[in-house]
A and B are shown apart, each in its own frame.
Chain A
Amino acid sequence: MEMPQPDARALAAKDDLVRRLTEALGPDGVISAPEELIAYECDALTAYRCPPMAVALPRTTEEVAETVRICASFGVPIVPRGAGTSLAGGSLPTADSVILGVARMNQALDVDYPNRVIRVQAGMTNLAVTGAVQGEGFFYAPDPSSQLACAIAGNIAMNSGGAHCLKYGVTTNNLMGVKMVTAEGEIVEVGGAHLDPAGYDLLGLICGSEGQLGIVTEATLRILASPEGARPVLMGFSSSEIAGACVADIIKSGVIPVAIEFMDRPCIHATEAHAKAGYPLDVEALLIVEVEGSDAEIETQLATIKAVAERHSPMVMRESTSEAESKAIWLGRKAAFGAMGQLGDYICLDGTVPVATLPEVLRRTAELAEQYGLEVANVFHAGDGNLHPLIIFNANAPGELEKAEALGADLLRLCVDVGGCLTGEHGVGVEKRDLMLHQYRAPDLEQQMAVKDVFDPGWMLNPAKVFPLSMSEGRRHAEH
C-alpha cells in the first residue's frame, strides 16, 4: 500500500508543535514519546502501521478547536481517531500527522426520553450509549459487532451499520445532530433535537465522510423504545441459491425481520468446530431470521416466515421457543469471527451486492478463492446484500498477504460489476482507496473532492484517505 511522502517541513516542526500542544492541553494531553506512539500506529487493519508525530487527547470541544488551530499553524495534517477499530485503515496515521483522539470525551451530556434523543460526547462507545438509556427501556439502534469498543465518533465518520439495520437503518438514519470543529478551528452545530435540515443536508454529508470534513465532538442521537421481545428461527438449505431465493421471498411477504443472517458451508463448519452451537453440518447454507415484538406478534411473524421458507424445502427448520434456544441459535453466528480467527489470519471484506445476485456472487467467490488457492468463508447480512467474505491466509508466509489482498480486490470488483459497491459499512479508508475508480468515474470523484475543498481547503484532515492518491495529489500538495 502506498502512502504519501511525509512532508519534510511538518516533520521538522515536531518539537515546536509538541511544545505548543502541551501548553494548550497539558502534559497528559499529548503523547510524543516513540514507545508510546506505538499504541496509535494502526487501527484494526493491522497489516499497515505508521506511528504519527504526536497524539493529542483533548478533553473539550474548545481544546479540540485549539488543537486544530495549532496544527494548522504548522501546516501539519490531522488524523481524527475514535477507538481505532476501523477495518479500512481510516485512522491509520501518516508519519507527518498528528492523531487527534476523542477517547477522553466519553460522557453522556443530556438524555431526553420524552423527545427520544440523547446528546453525547463523540468519544463515548456505541454500547455505552445503549447502556445509558436501557434502564428506562430504550436503546440506540445501530449495533456494529465492534460496539463494545468503537466510538460514536468513528460510527459517524464511517456511517457504521449493524445486524439490526434492515429494520432500523444505519448511523446516518439515527443521527440528528453534531457539534463539529471545522478545519479552521471554528466550532459549528449542525442539526439537533429537531428533524431535518434548514437548508442543505450538511449532516447527511458529514456522516460517512471518514474524518475528512471536520472533527465531530458531540452527537445528538435518536433513541428508541426497546422491543418487548425478539426470537430467531434457524433454517438450513441444500444450496446458497435456494437460501438466497428464500431471503427474497421473506422480504416480499411483507414481514420485515430485524435481522437475516447468512452463513455458508465453510463458515458453518468452522463455527461449529469452535462454538458447538449445534448447527446442522449437512447443509450448504444457513439462515438466521429474527423478528421482534410481543409473544403473539412474534408467533404471527414467524408463522408467515416459516410458511414462506417451507416453499423452498428447507433441510432444517428450528424455531426458538425460549430464551435459551434463542441464545443457542445466535451463539454460532456471534462466534463466527472468533472461529475464523482460529483458522488463521483473515481479511474481512465488506462489499454490497443486489440481493438477487447473491447466488451468482457466492459461486464466483468460490471460483476465485480456488484460483488463488485461498479459503473464503461467508457470513453476512443477507437482507441488504452486505457481504463479509473472510479470506483466510497465513500472514507469516511470504507473499500470502499480497495474494489475499489481490483476491480481496477481485472480490470487491465483482461486487461492483454485479451492480453493488465496494463498501457497505466499513468505509474506504486506505484499504479501498485505489479501487474507487472501479466504482466511480473520475468526474464523480472530482465532485466529491470539491466538497472536501469547501470544508477543508487546505486538505489538512485525514488527507491521504478515500480518494486515489494520484487524484488527490495536487490538492494535498497545494501551497496555502
Chain B
Amino acid sequence: MTTLTPASEAELSEAVAAAAAVGQPLEIAGGGTRRGLGRPVQAEGTLSTSGIRGIRLYEPGALTLVVAAGTPLAEIEAALDAEGQRLPFEPMDHRALLGGTGEPTIGGAVACGASGPRRIQAGACRDAMIGVRFVNGRGEALSNGGRVMKNVTGYDLVKLMAGSYGTLGVLTEVGFKVLPRPERALTLVLEGLAEDRAVAALSAAVTAPFDVNGAAHLPARADAPARTLVRVEGLEAQAEYRAASLARLLAPFGEASRVDGDAHEALWRHVRDAERFAGREGAVWRLSMRPSDTPGAVGRIREATGADAFYDWAGGLVWLCLPETGDAGAAVIRAETARLGGHATLVRAAAATRAAVEVFEPEPAPLARISAGLRASFDPSGILNPGRMRA
C-alpha cells in the first residue's frame, strides 16, 4: 500500500498518468472522513490531495471563492466567517455518523455532493459550484466553468464532477458562489405531530413566501417527543417577521415555540450530521423522494424492518437506521423508491455489506449505459476509485 502526496496539479497529473500507464488503481483521499461512503475501493495505492491546498481567490464583494481541493473545510469556513459569509449548501460533516477522525476537505465534500438542510432553499453543493479543475484518468489536467456566477460556455462538467466520488477525475480546484451569513436565524418547533401531519406542516411552511431554509421532522424517541422544525433567517426584522407569519400559518398544527442562539446551531447540526444515528448500531440509509410520499414509505419500511427514521428537506429526505442483517433492508427500501420514484443510498454499513448491496440506487438500463460510458470516457483504464460507485 503506497501513498502518493503530489504537491501540485502538475505532479498529480504525472502520478495519474503513470498509474494509468501500468493500470494501477488508485484510491483518492482528501481528509479521510467520508472514506466509508460508497462501495469499498479496490486499490493498492492511495492518492492524497493533502498537498494541494490553499485559498486561491476570495472576493467577498463578488460572492466568489476558489480553493484548492485538498483544503480543509474548516480553513474555508473560517475564511468565510471572517467576512460574514458561508457556503450556501451547509455541507454535512460525516465524522459523527461514520466515526472518522480525519480532517474533511472541500474536495471530499464536493466529490460526495454533500448538501445539508439548506439544500431546499439555497440549492445543492453542485448549485453553488461555478468551476472545477481536475485530472482525469488519463492524467490530463482539465478545466470547466470558471470563477464567474453565470457561465454557459460549453457543457457543464462542473455539475457532473459533483457527487462523482472521484470516479471521473481527481479534483484539484473548485470555485463556488458563496452567500452572506444572515444577521439572525431562528427555528420554530412544533411538538407531538405524527409523521404525515408533520410533513404536511413542513409543506405548508415551504410553500409560503417566507424563505424557509430548513424544514425537518424528528419523530418521537423514548426520551423526547416528536419535534417538527422550521428555520428562517435574514436581517433581524426580516427573521422576526417571517417567524411570526409562520407561527400564524402553522397554528392549525399546534403552538410553535422558538429556538435560537447556540441551541439553534446545535439543533441543525443534529439534523445535518444525522447525529440521531451517531454511535448507534445499524445500517444507515438516505432516501430522496417526493416529500408527500415519504411518511407512507417510512411506515411500510418500519413495519418490515423496525427502522428508526427522521426527515429533512421538508420531508423529501429521509434518514433511516435499521438492523444490519441480510441485505440491510435494501429490498424493502428499494421497493418503495422503485414504485414511487426517488432513490436510496446506503450511507453506513460494514464494508462487506457495502460490497454486497448496491450502495447507490441501480439506474435503469439506458442510463446505466450512459453512466458507464462516461466513466470509460473520463477514466478509460478504470484506475480512479475503482468499484466506489458500481461494482
Asked whether, in the complex, the Cβ of B60 is within 8 Å of the Cβ of A252, the reply is: yes
Contacts A198-B360, A428-B153: A300 and B238 contacting too (C-beta < 8 A)?
A: yes
Give the residue among A165, A198, A248, A354 with the most B Cβ atoms within 10 A.
Answer: A198
Asked whether, in the complex, the Cβ of A158 is within 8 Å of the Cβ of B389, the reply is: no
The 0/1 profile, CB within 8 Å of B marked 1, for residues 195-206 of chain A is: 111111111110
What are 8 A-to-B residue pairs whose CB atoms are below 8 Å? Answer: A202-B160, A202-B367, A225-B209, A248-B61, A252-B83, A254-B235, A385-B149, A452-B155
Question: Which chain B positions have C-beta within 8 A of A436?
Answer: 153-154
Contact of B160 among A113, A200, A297 (CB under 8 A): A200
Asked whether, in the complex, the Cβ of B237 is within 8 Å of the Cβ of A297, the reply is: yes
Question: Which chain A positions have C-beta within 8 A of B63?
Answer: 251
Q: Please choose the segment from B67-75, B288-296, B320-328, B348-356 that sits at the chain A interface, where 4 or more of its residues have CB less than 8 A away.
A: B288-296
Q: How far is the CA of A364 from the CA of B291 in the complex (A)?
A: 51
Q: Please choose the segment from A40-48, A49-57, A145-153, A437-445 that sits at the chain B interface, where 4 or more of its residues have CB less than 8 A away.
A: A437-445
Question: Which chain A positions have C-beta within 8 A of B345?
Answer: 198
- 3 A-B pairs with the lowest CB-CB distances in the bound complex, closest first: A204-B159, A248-B61, A198-B343
Contact of B136 among A194, A255, A425, A447 (CB under 8 A): A447
Taking the closest CB of chain A, its distance from the CB of B317, in whole angstroms, is 7
Question: Which chain A positions have C-beta within 8 A of B119?
Answer: 195-196
Contact of B127 among A173, A225, A454 (CB under 8 A): A173
Asked whether, in the complex, the Cβ of A451 is within 8 Å of the Cβ of B342, the reply is: no
Q: How far is the CA of A447 from the CA of B390 in the complex (A)?
A: 22
Q: How far is the CA of A189 from the CA of B363 in the complex (A)?
A: 10
CB of B279 within 8 Å of the partner chain? no
Taking the closest CB of chain A, its distance from the CB of B180, in whole angstroms, is 4
Supplied contacts A352-B150, A445-B154, 12 more A-B pairs, CB within 8 Å:
A182-B366, A192-B342, A247-B61, A352-B149, A354-B62, A354-B148, A384-B149, A424-B151, A426-B152, A436-B154, A451-B377, A452-B155
Number of B residues near A (Cβ < 8 Å) is 83
CB of A323 within 8 Å of the partner chain? no
Contact of A419 among B147, B149, B316, B366 (CB under 8 A): B147
CB of B157 within 8 Å of the partner chain? yes
CB of A123 within 8 Å of the partner chain? no
Question: Which chain A positions have C-beta within 8 A of B159?
Answer: 172, 201, 203-205, 207
CB of B267 within 8 Å of the partner chain? no
Asked whether, in the complex, the Cβ of B150 is within 8 Å of the Cβ of A225, the reply is: no
Taking the closest CB of chain A, its distance from the CB of B220, in whole angstroms, is 24
Contact of B156 among A115, A204, A253, A444 (CB under 8 A): A204
Q: How far is the CA of A137 from the CA of B249 in the complex (A)?
A: 15
Contacts A196-B113, A354-B59: A114 and B209 contacting too (C-beta < 8 A)?
A: no
Contacts A301-B238, A445-B154: A420 and B148 contacting too (C-beta < 8 A)?
A: yes
CB of A169 within 8 Å of the partner chain? yes
The 0/1 profile, CB within 8 Å of B marked 1, for residues 435-471 of chain A is: 0100111011101101111110000000000100000
Interface residues of B in 83-117 (CB under 8 A from A): 83-84, 113, 115
Asked whether, in the complex, the Cβ of A425 is within 8 Å of the Cβ of B152, the reply is: yes
Asked whether, in the complex, the Cβ of A196 is within 8 Å of the Cβ of B62, the reply is: no
Question: Which chain B positions have C-beta within 8 A of A385?
Answer: 62, 148-150
Q: How far is the CA of A425 from the CA of B239 in the complex (A)?
A: 33
Q: How far is the CA of A175 from the CA of B341 in the complex (A)?
A: 16
Inter-chain residue pair count (beta carbon < 8 A): 257
Asked whether, in the complex, the Cβ of A204 is within 8 Å of the Cβ of B144, the reply is: no
Interface residues of B in 33-82 (CB under 8 A from A): 59-64
How many A residues touch the partner, as a band? Answer: 35 or more
Give the residue among B144, B209, B234, B316 with the most A Cβ atoms within 10 A.
Answer: B209
Q: How far is the CA of A452 from the CA of B155 in the complex (A)?
A: 9
Question: Which chain A positions have C-beta within 8 A of B142?
Answer: 443-444, 447
Asked whether, in the complex, the Cβ of B61 is within 8 Å of the Cβ of A249, the reply is: yes
Asked whether, in the complex, the Cβ of B341 is within 8 Å of the Cβ of A193, the reply is: yes
Nearest A residue to B343 by beta-carbon distance? A198
Taking the closest CB of chain B, its distance from the CB of A430, in whole angstroms, is 14
Asked whether, in the complex, the Cβ of B288 is within 8 Å of the Cβ of A196, the reply is: yes
Asked whether, in the complex, the Cβ of A205 is within 8 Å of the Cβ of B148, the reply is: no
Contact of B209 among A209, A228, A256, A454 (CB under 8 A): A228
CB of A242 within 8 Å of the partner chain? no
Asked whether, in the complex, the Cβ of B180 is within 8 Å of the Cβ of A254, the reply is: yes
Contacts A293-B238, A451-B377: A188 and B146 contacting too (C-beta < 8 A)?
A: no
Question: Which chain A positions have C-beta within 8 A of B120?
Answer: 195
Question: Which chain B positions have C-beta within 8 A of A188?
Answer: 364, 366-367
CB of B183 within 8 Å of the partner chain? yes
Question: Which chain B positions have C-beta within 8 A of A428?
Answer: 152-154
CB of A271 within 8 Å of the partner chain? no
Question: Which chain A positions have C-beta within 8 A of B32?
Answer: none
CB of B179 within 8 Å of the partner chain? yes
Q: How far is the CA of A256 from the CA of B113 in the complex (A)?
A: 25
The 0/1 profile, CB within 8 Å of A marked 1, for residues 321-343 of chain B is: 00000000000000000000111
CB of A277 within 8 Å of the partner chain? no
Asked whether, in the complex, the Cβ of B207 is within 8 Å of the Cβ of A451, the reply is: no
Question: Which chain B positions have C-beta within 8 A of A203?
Answer: 159
Taking the closest CB of chain B, its distance from the CB of A189, in whole angstroms, is 8
Nearest A residue to B207 by beta-carbon distance? A225
Asked whether, in the complex, the Cβ of B374 is within 8 Å of the Cβ of A297, the reply is: no
CB of B309 within 8 Å of the partner chain? no
CB of A423 within 8 Å of the partner chain? yes
CB of A369 within 8 Å of the partner chain? no
Q: How far is the CA of A313 from the CA of B370 in the complex (A)?
A: 56
Q: How far is the CA of A158 from the CA of B126 in the complex (A)?
A: 18
The 0/1 profile, CB within 8 Å of A marked 1, for residues 154-166 of chain B is: 1111111011100
Q: How far is the CA of A420 from the CA of B343 in the complex (A)?
A: 37
Taking the closest CB of chain A, its distance from the CB of B128, in whole angstroms, is 10
Nearest A residue to B291 by beta-carbon distance? A115
Asked whether, in the complex, the Cβ of B157 is within 8 Å of the Cβ of A448, the reply is: yes
CB of A432 within 8 Å of the partner chain? yes
Taking the closest CB of chain B, its distance from the CB of A304, in whole angstroms, is 7
Nearest A residue to B180 by beta-carbon distance? A254
CB of A161 within 8 Å of the partner chain? yes
Asked whether, in the complex, the Cβ of A453 is within 8 Å of the Cβ of B377, the reply is: yes
Asked whether, in the complex, the Cβ of A116 is within 8 Å of the Cβ of B153, the reply is: no
Question: Which chain B positions have C-beta within 8 A of A422?
Answer: 153
Asked whether, in the complex, the Cβ of A447 is within 8 Å of the Cβ of B140, the reply is: yes
Asked whether, in the complex, the Cβ of B343 is within 8 Å of the Cβ of A194, the reply is: yes
Give the residue among B342, B370, B374 with the most A Cβ atoms within 10 A.
Answer: B370
Nearest A residue to B235 by beta-carbon distance? A300
Question: Which chain A positions have C-beta within 8 A of B181?
Answer: 254
Question: Which chain B positions have C-beta within 8 A of A432?
Answer: 153
Taking the closest CB of chain B, its distance from the CB of A273, in whole angstroms, is 30
Question: Which chain A positions have C-beta within 8 A of B143?
Answer: 440-441, 444
CB of A10 within 8 Å of the partner chain? no
Nearest B residue to A435 by beta-carbon distance? B153
The 0/1 profile, CB within 8 Å of B marked 1, for residues 290-330 of chain A is: 00011011001100100000000000000000000000000
Q: How far is the CA of A40 from the CA of B361 in the complex (A)?
A: 42
Q: How far is the CA of A448 from the CA of B364 in the complex (A)?
A: 24
CB of A83 within 8 Å of the partner chain? no
Q: How far is the CA of A114 from the CA of B345 in the complex (A)?
A: 25
Contact of A158 among B64, B152, B241 (CB under 8 A): B152
Asked whether, in the complex, the Cβ of A356 is within 8 Å of the Cβ of B127, the reply is: no
Q: How far is the CA of A254 from the CA of B363 in the complex (A)?
A: 41
Contacts A256-B179, A454-B370, A454-B374: A356 and B62 contacting too (C-beta < 8 A)?
A: yes
Interface residues of A in 231-260 (CB under 8 A from B): 247-249, 251-256
Asked whether, in the complex, the Cβ of B238 is within 8 Å of the Cβ of A297, the reply is: yes
Nearest A residue to B390 by beta-carbon distance? A199
Contact of B290 among A193, A197, A202, A439 (CB under 8 A): A193
Taking the closest CB of chain B, its distance from the CB of A125, in whole angstroms, is 20
